Structure 1
Amino acid sequence: MRIVLVGPPGAGKGTQATLLAAKLGVPHISTGDLFRANISQQTELGKLAKSYMDAGNLVPDEVTIAMAKDRMEQPDAENGFLLDGFPRNVSQAEALDEVLNTESIKLDAVLDLEVPEAEVVKRIAGRRICRNDSAHVFHVEYKPAAKEGVCDVCGGELYQRDDDSEDTVRKRLEVYHTQTEPIIDYYKAQGLVVTISSLGPVEEITKRALEALKREDDDK
């Protein structure tokens, strides 16, 4: 299957993308991974992207699209892929359609992870990270440390990242509503959107998504 995954920050896209891609046997293609891979491998696109980033500028859509196109043409993506973080706006969605049409390929579904805004704020603003190891992540409500402010794993200090503050989260949500959310209507017009709730245990959300995608596939 060829799937685009969308949803607001805090919806669990990264987690679900990894699990769903493994279940479906397709590569998980995220913009973050694309940038890191191209920059570390010093590809021409990576060098170009880095030049914009080093100057403090946003990487232009055409560079991101070129990276995504190159990744989707790799052998492991021949039978499908799961796009996470791309397209990020309607112009990128239109460009993706052009790329796929050139290859006579069509998307199978756009999976929309729906979560109330209050829950997004609670999920992100409650997150605490270990200063010694950023892989040690806790949450003041959902996964509290045994001792407040202290990592259960290594005893390091737990802190809230600047971009996890409530004010920053609300600004990120504004950007999502303005730039990314319109792609849902764009894809709804093509009959591709499958919306599921992103509330509940991780495994339950994955099961919900797989069932919804299967129904979508069966209906075609």
Structure 2
Amino acid sequence: MDATVRPLRIPPEMAIYAEKHDIFHLVQTLVRNVMVDKPEDPIQYLINFLKRDRFDGKFLLLLFISVFYRTNIPFGLSITPYRMCQTLALSFNSFLTVMLEAPDVVLIERSLGQRIDPVTGDVYHVTFMWPESEEVAQRLETPSTLMPADLIAKKLQRFHTEAHALKRTYHSCLKTINADQPHVDVFSQVLNYVRTPRHSASPYTPRILLFGPPGSGKSLQAKLIAQKYGIVNICCGELLKAVSADESHMGELIKPYLESEQQVPSSIVLRILTERLSRMDCTTRGWVLHGFPQDVEQAEELQESNFIPNRVFFLEITDDIAIERVTLRGVDPVTGEWYHSIYKPVPGPEVQARLRFNPRHSEAQLLKRLKEYWNHTADLQAFYPQAVHINADQDPHTVFESLESRLVGRLPKILSNQETFES
């Protein structure tokens, strides 16, 4: 093949590395901070920025009305950005945002009931937190900074005016918590929100594996996924046939196996498959693969080649359903249309007369293929413990909806407890 027309291939390690280290987020953070801060010397600014211990800008932003009797959250930043200009500036760096809300009557009661110990400076409340010591209780005073009820009401009105805009600004990362409950419960809810794994905003390339017995609908589901999301549909069997049909060295190598209906050696299949998966369209658009791997050894070889799926599905049907679906279907050699005795009957006797049935679809052959599939399924499921199991004994579009619901969500970016508290 002329080197000038040879397909451009991108090493799979590049995509894996970018996703593992969240390169998209890193670049986005650098560009965002440069555009917000507008330094005179952008290069030196970026150098200094990268020298920081942490530069991902993760912190907790608490939105509240300052008359709250609120718990101290021992991490992050507590601030009340009333005006939208403050909010927009902060929103560039805020990843986790919590808004504490409570009825106005509760807030006013909390504010007016505050008392302070002039000796220690500790703050108490006549209803919610009265000191156990009678001596301390005797010396409590009303804080000199305590606002009258009418001023508190004005401040609440101002907060409510800005609250809608604040929620709209932080809608993608906002958690609203009812503060009219014990502070321990408020803290627990905030902590749970912080510890919840965040979904990375980084784009990811779908790398999908479909497993399933014959007749489970792998080819159809792969076709539907590829059509809707523009990713590359790779059927291992069809790929081998296409390679065999060309005049390449690899095509001549596998042709005898296909003509004699023997299994192509895994090493050759892997070479053909990795060559296809490394092309530009698969690297940039993603791929959905079915027909390979067929056992754990092939799965390990695929992973060692750095083609690691980020979505794995097992389409599940019983053997009886598989036999019904496969053995009763035939093809019209004139039109190439497939028909099924139950699900898609032939339109007339003329088509019925010329219908052809694949010998591999006989019940005896199918039972052998099913036995081979089930012999390796348990090991493959153990190899891919995060795989999703889909009931394929349903309408094809219902099956597709089940698959799609697990495709559209972003991959979760798991944070350890240490990372969470340091953020």
Using structure 2 for the length normalisation, give the TM-score: 0.46
Question: Does residue 120 of structure 2 align to residue 120 of structure 1?
Answer: no
Q: Identify which range, 30-39 or 2-11, moves more after superposition.
A: 30-39
Aligned-residue offset at 1:106: 3.4
Q: Partner of 1:91 in structure 2?
A: 297
* Equivalent position SS for 2:314: strand
Question: Does residue 402 of structure 2 align to residue 208 of structure 1?
Answer: yes
**In 1, distance between residues paired with 2:296 and 2:289?**
15
Using structure 1 for the length normalisation, give the TM-score: 0.84
* Equivalent position SS for 2:238: helix
**In 2, distance between residues paired with 1:123 and 1:216?**
34
Which of structures 1 and 2 has the bigger CA Rg? 2
Residue type at the aligned position of 1:98:
E
Q: Deviations over 1:179-199 (max 9, x none)?
A: 4553222112xx2x0111112
CA distance 1:91–1:37, change in 2 (3 Å): same
**In 2, distance between residues paired with 1:199 and 1:56?**
29
Aligned length: 208
CA distance 1:56–1:214, change in 2 (3 Å): closer
Residue type at the aligned position of 2:300:
E
**In 2, distance between residues paired with 1:75 and 1:33?**
20
**In 2, distance between residues paired with 1:127 and 1:216?**
38
**In 2, distance between residues paired with 1:54 and 1:141?**
32
Question: Does residue 370 of structure 2 align to residue 157 of structure 1?
Answer: no
**In 1, distance between residues paired with 2:240 and 2:344?**
31
Q: Identify which range, 62-71 or 159-168, moves more after superposition.
A: 159-168
**Cα RMSD for the two superposed structures:** 2.3
**In 1, distance between residues paired with 2:410 and 2:350?**
45
Q: Partner of 1:75 in structure 2?
A: 280
Aligned-residue offset at 1:14: 0.7
* Equivalent position SS for 2:344: coil
**In 1, distance between residues paired with 2:398 and 2:342?**
19
2:343 pairs with one of 142, 151, 174: 142
1:38 pairs with one of 229, 243, 257: 243
Q: Partner of 1:15 in structure 2?
A: 220
Q: Deviations over 1:159-204 (max 9, x none)?
A: 433222222221221121124553222112xx2x011111222222
Ranked by relative contact order (alpha carbons within 8 Å, sequence separation 6 or more), the top structure is: 1
CA distance 1:16–1:50, change in 2 (3 Å): same
Aligned-residue offset at 1:87: 1.0
> Identity over aligned residues, as a percent?
28
Q: Partner of 1:109 in structure 2?
A: 311
* Equivalent position SS for 2:243: helix
2:392 pairs with one of 183, 195, 198: 198
Structure 2: runs of 5 or more not aligned: 1-205, 415-423
Structure 1: runs of 5 or more not aligned: none
Residue 6 of structure 1 contacts residue 85 of structure 1 at CA under 8 Å; is this kept in 2? yes
* Equivalent position SS for 2:309: coil
Q: Deviations over 1:3-47 (max 9, x none)?
A: 111100000111111111222321111112321222222222222
* Equivalent position SS for 1:8: coil
4+ long deviations beyond 6 Å: none
* Equivalent position SS for 2:292: coil
Residue type at the aligned position of 1:207:
E
**In 2, distance between residues paired with 1:166 and 1:216?**
42
**In 1, distance between residues paired with 2:210 and 2:370?**
17
